[in-house]
Amino acid sequence: MSTIDARFRVEHNNFNLDIRLSLPRVGVSALFGPSGSGKTTCLRAMAGLEKLPDSYFAIGDSVWQDSEKDIFVPPHQREIGYVFQEASLFAHLNVRDNLNFGRRRLPVEKRKVKFQNICNILGLTPLLDRPPNTLSGGERQRVAIARALLTSPKLLLMDEPLSALDHALKQEVLPYLERLQQELAIPIIYVSHSPDEVARLADYIAIIKQGKLVKSGVLAEVMLDGEAGMCFYDGRSSMLYAQVLKHKKDHLTELAIGGLTLLVPQISSPVDSHLRCRINAKDVSLCLSPPVDSSISNILPGCVTRIEDSRTPGERIVTVDISATHSLLAMITYASAKRLKLHLGCHVWAQIKSVVVL
């Protein structure tokens, strides 16, 4: 699998950016971090909107910047789609003409993304004849995303595309973004400082802080890392990838996770669909034998593979492998860890009090 490789260095007054990235050329890669960490500067440099000195950027074999070889491909020659925080649609054009604005300038033989397919994925067909001023914020942003995709880019860059939307509109747009990533083979680099958005959309994450790369890797693996995990959430969490097995009569849905099953309050996702579950370490307790007469439905066997100090005095973070591909984090007190005599390789039962289905 080819990669997207970047090296950006720049000094702006009191801000220094010095970062190297190697991102997969599939799925969604999130640039995550607090405001002012350098995420948008990286994205603008990838698009060629900022020509940073001593920098490099390439997608596969296509080199768009190499300062050492005096290579710099201008923005209009880079096969990139860019979605900004604001939709910025043309007010005098209806949705159909907004979508076709960039597409018309693309030679027919290079139009790899089909108009109707994108309209179907993003739910735009009923909106095609409407002017922008009659659309909701979520609808306008879906049009902006479709417009970028209809230029048939090699890479889609998204700069906090949901930050201008309220919570309800974000929830409206997020399912469309999920469908987008599932049905198109265009890699996406997604800038955000929202943990919930990143947890729901990203496959790969690069955590950036004060112009430096803190940690990068597969999302679920990075969340298990001590320092990176605390950057990512206000409290440690783990991510499980699940498949819907069946909907039960008692208002529960049964999920399959690495050969194990998990019960959650009934959800609307159809059988066989894939989804993500986020579990807060504070919602996991440990015991040495299977508990009986418990109100907790999800009790999974596992093996302790790591014990580390928490940032909170008197607490420990315990990593428990529940399958070959899935791990849970449990936050327990130092006293409990000592009383249970927990050690690496110890077999335990993890009791999961709460599961957030994304």
Cα–Cα distance between 48 and 291 in angstroms, integer? 58
CA nearest 207: which of 187, 226, 228, 234?
A: 228
Instruction: Note the pLDDT of residue 108.
Output: 80
Q: In what order do the strands lie in the sheet with 327-333?
A: 284-287, 347-352, 298-309, 315-321, 327-333
* Domains in the chain: boundaries: 3-234, 238-357
**What CA–CA distances, in Å, run from 332 to 98, 235, 340?**
54, 13, 11
Instruction: Note the pLDDT of residue 172.
Output: 86
Instruction: Note the pLDDT of residue 11.
Output: 86
Identical fold for domains 3-234 and 238-357, yes or no, is no
Instruction: Note the pLDDT of residue 156.
Output: 95
DSSP-H helix ranges across the chain: 39-47, 95-103, 115-121, 137-149, 167-183, 195-201, 219-224, 226-232, 334-340
Q: What is the mean pLDDT of each run of 10 residues along the chain (358 residues)?
A: 90 87 95 91 94 93 94 93 89 93 81 89 94 93 92 93 87 87 89 89 94 93 80 77 93 92 92 92 94 91 94 91 93 95 96 90
CA nearest 19: which of 10, 28, 27, 29?
A: 10
Instruction: Note the pLDDT of residue 202.
Output: 94
Q: For residue 168, what are the contacts with CB-CB under 8 A and spacing of at least 6?
A: none
Instruction: Note the pLDDT of residue 1.
Output: 57
Q: Which CATH superfamily is domain 3-234 in?
A: P-loop containing nucleotide triphosphate hydrolases (3.40.50.300)
Residue type, 20: R
Enter the DSSP assignment of 2: -
Please give the angle made by the CA atoms of 23, 24 and 25, to the nearest 5 degrees.
115
How many other β-carbons are positioned within 10 Å of the β-carbon of residue 248? 11
What is the CATH code of the structural domain delimited by 238-357? Answer: 2.40.50.100
Instruction: Note the pLDDT of residue 232.
Output: 63
Instruction: Note the pLDDT of residue 15.
Output: 84
